[in-house]
Structure 1
Amino acid sequence: MRFKLFMLAIASATVATGVSAQTARYQVTVAHVEPASGYQKLHIAKAAIGSTPIRVWANTAIDPDCSVHEPGATLTLLEPPAHGLATIRDEPYFAAFPPANPRSACNAHKVPGHQAYYTAAAGYVGHDRLVLQGASPDGAVRRITVDVTVRQAPPGR
């Protein structure tokens, strides 16, 4: 549990006079600190060409030996896009753990996980947005806002 310490100065200093001294006093309040929203906010931007599906997010929960960690990670769609389709698939993918992470050995092969894809509506060009929520076994919850710029597909495509 995390706590925040609040200090309120009631008298600001010790003042010495010929007869007496006034001592500074403080009121201390300890209060439990929770994140205001209860989750971490992430914002990412992607670009799509026409109605070609793009992967916008992926997550996994694996142990250093590359086996699935139980309980696993979750990924859900909170707000669908207005001008396209978002899908979440439970399928293996190549993770990209940093070299210092003991799970980086798992980068060489696909690991079980969740992937979110965006596909623009046929003929749509412009901005779209979707919101995902991912949670990991350690209790971290992330709200991921994905802004997608949909560009026109080249002719003949």
Structure 2
Amino acid sequence: MKVILQRSLQADVRVDGDIVGQIDHGLVALVGIAHGDSVDTVRAIADKTANLRIFPDEAGKMNRNVVEAGGGVLAISQFTLLADCRRGRRPSFTAAAPPDMAKNLYERYADHLHSLGLPVARGIFAADMAVSLVNDGPVTIILDSDEIIR
């Protein structure tokens, strides 16, 4: 599982021109589910997402997590995070989980964040989406389950 977190001042996702999810401030989470990921993987990465201290405190130091900062999460499924570009000019996506499995685990990631007290907005799985955000900082963090929990 790979997740790209971007601290944002505002963000939204549109499908066919209509806003289907938005947050005022918090994190945009681009979520890639891989073969071998499980509910345990998703929970561990969701816990890490919610608890990373990447929001400023009163002194401007990154000492608050998204919950403490009063933010939300905009979760977007993005299988292209699992692209293998080592050979040729066309990426291979064989590391990405099959769609049914990926959708289930993506939904569980968002559900677990919600269970931790976060407002969670979502994109539409497998839709062609337009994501807009104002990156705050900029702060961009890469979470890779192979490095964090395996």
> With structure 1 as the length reference, what TM-score do the two structures score?
0.31
Greater percentage in helix: 2
TM (norm. structure 2) is: 0.31
If you compute each CA radius of gyration, which structure gives the higher value, 1 or 2?
Answer: 1
Q: Which has the higher contact order (CA 8 A, sep 6+)?
A: 2
